[in-house]
Structure 1
Amino acid sequence: MSETPSPQDREVVARQLGRTPRALTGVAHRCPCGQPDVVQTAPRLEDGTPFPTVYYLTCPRATAAASRLESAGLMKEWQADLGTDPELAAAYTRAHEAFLATRDAVDVLPTRASAGGMPDRVKCLHALAAHALAAGPGVNPIGDRALAGMGEWWAHGPCAAPQTGADQGAS
């Protein structure tokens, strides 16, 4: 369950992303440092364009960790596992259905596509890790694998340093 983002959360997410977040509706997970690392987004952008992502990984350190896994070829390896492990494939399909149920509770989109290539492909570990963090362990098996491989991205403290009074007054 995501929480309503505070003005400070919105500011932190904007600094994490380097831009104003789009369609932000909630903080879906907080890093152990206390800052948002996954946000929940509306199924449509402000202009009505479908935005099927729902969970968005915002912490640049977590994003870099997911990118390292993608560069190491794990998407291809885990895609192959879906073809040879029926239990994994069934759990991944259930993750897709849970994702769609969350999205559909807000707005039903014309696409049944969901994050990260679910239910048939492993396409984006960032999206799958975000879903796993937001939904909790055991919901998205590929997202759980990604999280296990990402290490402790939070170990060096907050990725977005708090603004000081001088920073807040600058334009």
Structure 2
Amino acid sequence: MTLRIAWGITGCGDYLKESLEIMKEVTREHDLEVRVFLSQAGEMVVKWYKLFNDLKSSFPRTFVEKSPNIPFLAGDLQLGKYDFLLILPSTSNTVGKIAAGISDTLLSNAAALAMKAKVPVYIFPADQREGEITTDLPGGKKLTLTMRDIDIEAVDKLRKMHGITVMGHPDEIREIVKKHIEGKRSSWI
């Protein structure tokens, strides 16, 4: 009764290290089967933050986007090979595409087809509240960013979409995993 998770990582560096640490922790705690799918920008950012080796050693089944259908994630989601799709963390670009119904990348395509197949999609957009955020850059420097109205509007649109849950913080994955494990247990009874 293993929980199978497709974890998508976009080119967002905000909360990237925290997301990796949380995913390693919940995978150890619950013996999850996690496959990681990096967007092309995700691979670049994971390497820029010097987290690629840690990611690959912690999650050996890590794949990098070659096209919207390679690796074959969307089809596997539709076939029920994963309990849910997690996009953590997500850029405003990926959020905007999903909110607009554009599925021209591996992760936006996976989200669209998962929703059609009623596979839950959980997404953590770094840019989701008005105002400024301070993020950590590689090497420890801080960067303050001002959120754009258009990005906030896209997140609000996601919140209204059936089949998508917008996470407020990466820590929420702990409760999401517990909920899905309990759901699997009750379906076996």
TM-based fold match above 0.5:
no
TM-score of the superposition, structure 2-length normalised? 0.29
TM-score of the superposition, structure 1-length normalised? 0.31
The structure whose residues are more often strand, as a share, is 2
